[in-house]
Structure 1
Amino acid sequence: MRIRISHSITYAYDEPVRQLTQILRLTPRDHDGQHVMSWRIEPTVDGNLRAGQDAHGNIVHTFSADGPISDLAIHVGGVIETLDLAGVIRGTIERVPPEVFRRDTLLTTPDDALRDFAMTATRADATPLAKMHALTEALHDLLACDRSGQRTGVGAAAAFAAGGGIPQDLAHIFMTCARQLGIPARYVSGYVAQSDALPEAEGAHAWAEAHLTDYGWIGFDCANGLCPIDTHVRIAAGLDFSDAAPVRGARKGGSGENLAVLVSARAANAQLANQ
């Protein structure tokens, strides 16, 4: 599938910004399941845009600019060609051993309820792969997925107690349970092509990957109740949202920030993709 992505992040400030820095994890890279045909990052103010990589191998751009800046937009997008590999991830840059992803973080710290759920949702005699599928199905059936797109900022235990959250929260819950079962799990940010076939396909998305000895890394999308297919575009991965946040920033001045985000991810035909 060819997927055309358009992602705009717009800031407006009541008081002009004197200086700002944005850390952007918004650029996909090639692996066996996706090929980047075109991609761009375009800020609307003059500044310095530098490319690099983080400890997880994610592509990171740092944008810095001096003010006064009253408004700023960052337009990101391009065309990605994807393949359905049933969630199996191959050909990615792996700089961190899988065992590191067994570690709990602030957003994936379990409580008794999550520990109990991880055990009751899976059979003790099942294979690790069967356990991950059972966990995905159980969480998809149990938890409500919030379509608001507003980041909650809560950890897995709080989201589980609340009965759901945005896809980011569901990914954290899955990761917490997988780690309790002794299986390394990591957070993935990306996009999902909008489709009537998927219940949760609003453009920007998040899911999890689990590392299984016999298969390597495999993706699990609890919001949609399936392994990622050719509708999914993988952008960044890490121990939790903090490692793969699409945008992080700091500024001097600029009180009264107003933020607007617009994301579109749709199947593109060959003619449009080649324009």
Structure 2
Amino acid sequence: MCQQSQLYKVTKVEAQKRPGRYNIYLDDEYAFPVSEEVLIQYHLFKGKTLTNSLIQTIQAADQQSKLFAQVVDFISYQSRTTAEVRTKLQGLTEDTDQIEAILTHLEQLALINDQQYAQRYVQQVALAGKKGPIAAVRYLVQKGISENLAHSMVAQFYPDDQATVNARPLAQKAFDQYARYPYNKRIEKTKLSLVRKGFTFATIDEALAELDDTVDETEQAALLEKAGQKAWHRYRGVDRFQRVQKVKQALMRQGFSFADIDQFLDNIEEQQ
């Protein structure tokens, strides 16, 4: 097979044990394997004549066919983005032309479609109600979707009003979970919880505005008394002015209000 002009005749086509794979014999000698797709595409039946150039083309097509089959298997378990499929292909071959050809073929067959992938994901997130729009964008970008496309899908399928609807019960749940904290700290932690879930500050403010934030005054007073006495004892080694200032700062960091802290310190003064 060293002369480009030399011709070879297909003398036998043998099915392999692997479904969809065939062995091609040229001039009564085994030559190369091909997929059923390539077999049909190049009419590789008994009596067909081939040149060296055509053989190389067929072998390249078979390699691409094998790569395509591997990728189809890869995306059969779950939807994939173009970036994910490209990464998979790069782990299988260094031939960039083959990679791009396979990606184009997959797109033509609608087996990969970044816009549909992003739309479905955003709709799922909005419907589930556990994450905010920012989280949806972040996830899509990590999957290789462009930021512009991710933001566009969020704008269309996860509007602000839906985000607020989703954020309200999450805000209430978080606020209730932090009942052992002072009111201001509960609000702070509730906000942080929603930020981590991917909601915007504007949405968080709207959700908090409708929060049932009724607190047990007796319980809050007990929390302040316990924290205040602990801080008062901790700073017993400094002069009185510094002690008062340090206790104020400590209680403010814990989320108690100025008014409640001053009331606590007034009570301390009366007890001295």
Q: Same fold (TM over 0.5)?
A: no
- Report the TM-score when normalising by structure 2: 0.18
Which of 1 and 2 has higher RCO (CA within 8 Å, sep 6+)? Answer: 1
Which is helix-richer, 1 or 2? 2
- Report the TM-score when normalising by structure 1: 0.18
Which is strand-richer, 1 or 2? 1
